[in-house]
Structure 1
Amino acid sequence: MSQKSINLHNIPACSNFFEMSSKLSIFTILISVFQIIDTSGCFPENNCDKNAICITAESSYYCQCNAGYEGSGYICTDENECVATHQCSLYAACVNTDGSYECICRNGYIGDGFSCHKSFDDITN
């Protein structure tokens, strides 16, 4: 894995311990992310699917499908989240989309699709 250099002089001064701690935590998280996903060994002509990310591994690379897709990374197909993993309300329809899904409240219900309740008009009639 290649080493990343980060200029510590660009981190702003902190006025108190809490502010310093929170900035250091964010800094630590950023360093962790850079170490986990290193794409420096990936070339534009890699064989990854258009719905995958290329990740450097030792002296080579591998491909990993993006969220909402499944497969080897070299071939990724849309995962149908409506089959098992959706979080739609019992009163909503799950609609699979490319790489994701939408929840739409059924007729007579209102809400954001994740939480649906009887519409006021249906309650009064």
Structure 2
Amino acid sequence: MLTLCVVLFLLLPAPSLGNNCSEHCKACGGPERNQCLQCLPGFMLHDNVCVDIDECGTELAKCPANTYCINTHSSYECRSCDRACVGCMGSGPARCKKCAPGYRSTDLKCLDIDECSEQVLACADINALCLNTEGSFQCHCAPGFTRKGTVCVRNQTPVGEERGLFDDLQDDEVEVLKQMFFGVILCALATLAAKGDMMFTSMFIGAVAAMVGYWLSDKSDRLLDSFLKGR
């Protein structure tokens, strides 16, 4: 009996290896897909057919924190969760397990919080402007201010910067310049009025009246001020 079994075993075809097998088979009894005896890594034998193993649905996948598993042909990949998530079940802000700081669950999605519009004083410095960013916000100094340490200070005029033409004029000098200006205007109007033009004559008379009124008003203010100080 033992001799008969050995003879039958020797008559059976030996399992094929390598190129003679169908795709994904490592060892087979023939070239057909359902004749696999052993599968390549990443596949398992089911009814003599090698099928892909879904590592993501088993404990075979070892993905680090804040990533999710994607099954691939004969293997798997670990991809990063959306920045709005702390842990996820897939891509995008709608697959988060929990929202990251700076995000809020809205309509089943983790969406950015606009701190600049929700917080009255998002920036503690009153001279800083709030700029919302993805998941957070930033405080930038307002125009005319520069950051110094933790606060924004007003920009100083550089030493030696050229001053304007009239920056150093005193009040009395400004008054003289105003009188000279009005004098030039009156001379021009007087010249035009001398030609007999009624419009310029009227303008000349009006300008003279305005100058006299201004002079009398200024004199009366000075007299009244001197009188009060004298008392």
TM-score w.r.t. length of structure 2: 0.27
Which one has the bigger helix percentage? 2
Larger radius of gyration: 2
- Select the structure with the greater relative contact order (CA < 8 A; seq sep ≥ 6): 1
TM-score w.r.t. length of structure 1: 0.46
